[in-house]
Amino acid sequence: MDKERLLQKFDAFMRSLTKEDKIAVHFHADADGVSSGVIVAKTIERLRGKKVDLVFYQEPYWVTDETIEKLQKNNITKYIIVDQSVDERPEQIKKVELFAKILILDHHSYKTDLNSEKTLFVHADKISSLLPVRYPVAKLSFDVCKRVKNIDDLDWVSCFGLIGDVGYNYWKEFVDDSLKKYGFQITNEGPSSAFGKITKLVTAAKCYKTEKVVECFEVIYAATTPKDVINSPLRKYQAAINEEIQYWLKQRHNAEVHGDLIIMEINPKYQIYSPFTTVLSMEYFPKSATVIVISDTGGKDLNISGRRQDGKFKVNELLKEAAKSVGGNGGGHPIAAGGQIPKEKKKLFKEALIKLYEGMKKA
Ligand SMILES: [Mn+2]
């Protein structure tokens, strides 16, 4: 389907929604997902004069039998999925098609084009020549929804979402115009802007407890200006997260040092391992150190997180190999990576890590 045809189908889908429809919005539990969920849900409320009926995120991200049960229990007739790739289980989508029409807005890579009689799959790669990863659904949903309703006042919602998916550099003019419109400073970096503050509030709330993304959705939905969110009770989660990170930074003397390989074990109250490892490696150890954090938050797996700020050794390969050797998984970027390992394999993992690292240094 070409772009024009797809967009016309999108317009028709949105304009066909009535008050009698039971509409569910399923969003990815991150800033881009919350943003695009709010944009789509608000556009629908404005179009049909009634809020959507059900809003949720879920883990795992694909459509499960429980998802289908929930949709049926709520008599859903229109199921909208934003910023979530569901093409891995196309047979589950077929099951939903028996009782509901589906709209998917996404930019993740996919194998199956889900477009059918009942499903409209609007993917970034069909709308824009940009790499899909650079076209966050926060921006995609804003661009398509504004075709059917005036949503000029939701530009800031799009902005904090696209900043969350590292999209500022590709949408600088849009974000800067919007910052100006609300009287905020242009900072030339997404995260340090006023909208970046909202992105961080959402990210912290998710770290605190994934289910708090629903509260983020509600707070942002109810807000009329970005300031309403910046000054909202969501700040308490960020304060808790920051306090926890500070606590563990003070424990850094407990880290094991093997030359320039630093391994630290933590058991924090919240899922702080990723931002914690970043701060630890950027501000407390030399950029020429490889910093690995093993985090236990009570689950059956441990989270592993690694940074090598000067890029001399590929921490994604290091974590991938070491985790794989104990039945875990790992990956990411050369300077920043993560993964999981079974809790009982911690000692073996550390041994593998040290040995692999020695090998990398000799190579
Ligand atoms: Mn996204």
From first to last of the 363 residues of the chain, give the pLDDT tens digit.
899 999 999 999 999 999 999 999 999 999 999 999 999 999 999 999 999 999 999 988 889 999 999 999 999 999 999 999 898 899 999 999 999 999 999 999 899 999 999 999 999 999 999 999 899 999 999 999 999 999 999 999 999 999 999 899 999 999 999 999 999 999 999 999 999 999 999 999 999 999 999 999 999 999 999 999 999 999 999 999 999 999 999 999 999 999 999 999 999 999 999 999 999 999 999 999 999 999 999 999 999 999 999 999 999 999 999 999 999 999 888 899 999 999 999 999 999 999 999 999 998
Cα 87 from Cα 109, distance rounded (Å): 9
| Joined tokens for residue 191 | 């995260």
Q: What is the DSSP string of 53-117?
A: SEEE--SSSS--HHHHHHHHHTT-SEEEEES---TT-HHHHHHHHTT-EEEEEE-S--SS---SS
- Cα–ligand 1 centroid distance for 31 (angstroms): 8
CA 59 remoteness from chain centre: 12
**pLDDT value of position 194:** 98
CA of 27 to the centre of ligand 1 (A): 10
pLDDT score of 60: 85
Cα(213) to ligand 1 centroid in Å equals: 14
Task: Please tell me the distance between residue 347's alpha carbon and the centre of ligand 1 in angstroms.
Answer: 35
Cα gap 240→157, rounded to integer Å: 24
Q: Are 294 and 304 in contact (CB under 8 A)?
A: yes
Q: CB within 5 A of ion ligand 1: which residues?
A: 32, 83, 136, 165
Residues 6+ apart with CB under 8 A from 351: none
For residue 363, the model assigns a pLDDT of 87
CA of 346 from ligand 1 middle (Å) equals 32
- Among candidates 51, 12, 80, which has minimal Cα distance to 221? 51
Instruction: Please state whether beta strands 101-106 and 78-82 pair in parallel, antiparallel, or not at all (unpaired).
Output: parallel
- Hunting for tokens 């924090």 — which residue is that? 268
CA of 269 to the centre of ligand 1 (A): 27
User: Beta partners for 67?
Assistant: none
Q: What number does CATH give the domain 251-362?
A: 3.10.310.40
CA of 83 to the centre of ligand 1 (A): 5
Cβ(105)–Cβ(137) below 8 Å: yes
Give CA–CA dist 254/136, Å, rounded. Answer: 40
For the entire predicted model, the pTM comes to 0.89
Distance of CA 64 to the CA centre of its chain: 20
Ligand 1 centroid, distance to 142 Cα (angstroms): 13
Residue 149 CB partners (closer than 8 Å, separation 6+): 14, 43, 46, 47
CA 289–ligand 1 middle distance (angstroms)? 31
- Residue 30: what pLDDT? 94
Ligand 1 center to 32 CA (angstroms): 5
The pLDDT of residue 88 is 85
Which DSSP category does 363 fall into? -
- Reduce the DSSP state of residue 158 to 3 states and report it: helix
Residue range 3-237 in CATH 3.90.1640.30: yes
Q: How far apart are the CA of 74 and the centre of ligand 1, in A? A: 27
Buried b / exposed e over 108-138, threshold 16 CB at 10 Å, is bebeeebbeebbbbbbbebbbeeebebbbbb
Q: How far, in Å, from the CA of 157 to the mean position of ligand 1?
A: 14
353, 318 Cβ separation under 8 angstroms: yes
Instruction: Tell how strand 301-308 and strand 329-332 pair up.
Output: unpaired
DSSP letter at 269 equals S
Q: What is the distance between the alpha carbons of residues 20 and 253, in angstroms, rounded to a whole number?
A: 61
Q: Any bridge partners for residue 257, and if so which?
A: 262
Tokens of 29: 């539990």
So where are the chain's domains? 3-237, 251-362
For tokens 């391992």, name the residue: 273
Q: Are 138 and 9 in contact (CB under 8 A)?
A: no
Q: How far is the CA of 339 from the centre of ligand 1 (A)?
A: 20
CA of 70 to the centre of ligand 1 (A): 24
How many whole angstroms from 95 Cα to the centroid of ligand 1? 25
- pLDDT score, position 41: 98
Number of H helices, E strands in the chain: 15, 11
The pairing of strands 329-332 and 101-106 is unpaired
Q: Which residue has the tokens 């997902």?
A: 33
